[in-house]
Amino acid sequence: MPEIAARAHLQTLIPVIERALETAATRWEQVDGVAVTKGPGLIGCLLVGVNLAQAIAWARKLPVIGVSHLAAHVFAAQLEEPDVRPPVLGLVVSGGHSDLIRWQEDGSIRVVGRTIDDAAGEAFDKGARILGLPFPGGPAIDALAVQGDPRAVRFPRPRAPGVDFSFSGLKTALLYEVRKRTSISDQARADLAASYQEAIVDALLQRVEAAQAADPAPTIVLGGGVARNRRLRQAAEARLGDKARLVIPAPELCTDNAAMIGAAALIEWERRGPDPAPFDADPSLGFS
Ligand code: KG4
Ligand code: ZN
């Protein structure tokens, strides 16, 4: 509900900023600049943020910089391990994106693979709905899968050309598995959740492995809400841990958060400086 989301931003942004300053025991006089998400996302929400950031910057005579929320999912790695530098191979998996990227030495980010249909987070959310689990589906499947057998059902591994992803066929396969049964026991539901999750995780990591084999990077970063997934984190360590330095930010730094926007601002600031105000939100922004 885009309008409701935009209104919620309007109502919560100022109290959240005040509370953040309070929690960090920081006064406005200590703030050197304002960072904000310029895109991608819902235009109403982005507009509230971009305009508030510019208003604060104007009122307090501070520089302001707008950054990409997608790039921030990669740059969040620096909050975890400050010496992370490009070249980096990154996997950004969220509700709207499944992108394989290369953060290059000149500071730019190049997308080398993307989903041709659903994003990984969408696959979790839609799969959860099919299984009768609550939204958001990722955490629900993650939790239920612990009690299930990932080998109970062998779901097809999505095949898209090259290093791209595809998840819509997998979702349909789950739907058929559910329809095949007249009733589903708790154990069967947990088995389906574990098997479905296993297929998504396998598809994601298989692509990262292929990209790493083709052009090895010293560092691999995982980011975005789906990178909270416990099975993905564990399997990534096992499959990629000896191929590069693997950085998966703490779960709270993987889901959308403001700290990663600050991290992105510091990195971008060094590269291109603040934005000349006024600037606009960009709902279809890529990684820069
Ligand atoms: O990055 P994010 O917080 O917001 C977007 O930019 O979209 O990602 C949200 C997505 C949702 O689809 C949610 O189901 C998924 O991340 N997610 C998870 C887990 N926690 C959140 N997916 C799998 N396992 C999780 N534990
Ligand atoms: Zn996100």
Q: Which among 267, 273, 270 has a CA at the least distance from the CA of 287?
A: 267
Sign of CA dihedral 139, 136, 158, 252: negative
Q: Which numbered ligand comes closest to the C-alpha of 70?
A: 2
H-only helix segments in 35-150: 43-60, 69-75, 77-80, 120-130, 137-145
How much is the pLDDT for 88? 98
Q: Point out the ligand 1 atom lying closest to the alpha carbon of residue 94.
A: 8
pLDDT value at 277 more than 90: no
Q: Annotate 177-224 with DSSP letters as a single string.
A: HHHH-S---HHHHHHHHHHHHHHHHHHHHHHHHHHHHHS--SEEEEES
What is the distance in A from the centroid of ligand 1 to the CA of 151?
A: 24
Instruction: Calculate how far, in angstroms, residue 138's C-alpha sits from the geometric centre of ligand 1.
Output: 6
Tell me, using a 6 A CB cutoff, whether residue 228 lines ligand 1. yes
Q: Is the CB of 268 under 6 A from ligand 1?
A: no
pLDDT of residue 158: 75
How do residues 228-248 score in pLDDT, each as one tens digit? 999 999 999 999 999 999 999
Residue 82 identity (one-letter amino acid)? P
* pLDDT score, position 243: 97
CA distance 236 to 257: 22
Band the pLDDT of 33: cuts 50, 70, 90.
very high
Residue 121: CB within 6 Å of ligand 1? yes
Cα–ligand 2 centroid distance for 72 (angstroms): 8
Q: Which ligand is nearest to the CA of 121?
A: 1
Confidence check: pLDDT of 159 > 80:
no
Cis peptide before 136 (omega within 30 of 0): yes
Q: Residue 267 is encoded by which pair of tokens? A: 């990195």
CA–centroid distance, 127 to ligand 1, in Å, is 13
Residue length of the chain: 288
Q: Residue holding tokens 């839609």?
A: 126
Q: Ligand 1: which atom is nearest the Cα of residue 97?
A: 7
Residue 272 has pLDDT above 90, yes or no: yes
* Centroid of ligand 2 to alpha carbon of 95 (angstroms): 7
The mean predicted confidence, pLDDT, of the chain is 96
Q: Which of 228, 233, 260 to mutate to test the pocket of ligand 1 (most atoms within 8 A of CB)?
A: 228
pLDDT surpassing 90 at residue 198: yes
> What residue has token string 């895109």?
39
Residue 212 one-letter amino acid: Q
Q: What is the pLDDT of residue 163?
A: 84
Q: Give the mean pLDDT of 107-121.
A: 96
- Taking residues 54-83, what's their average pLDDT? 97
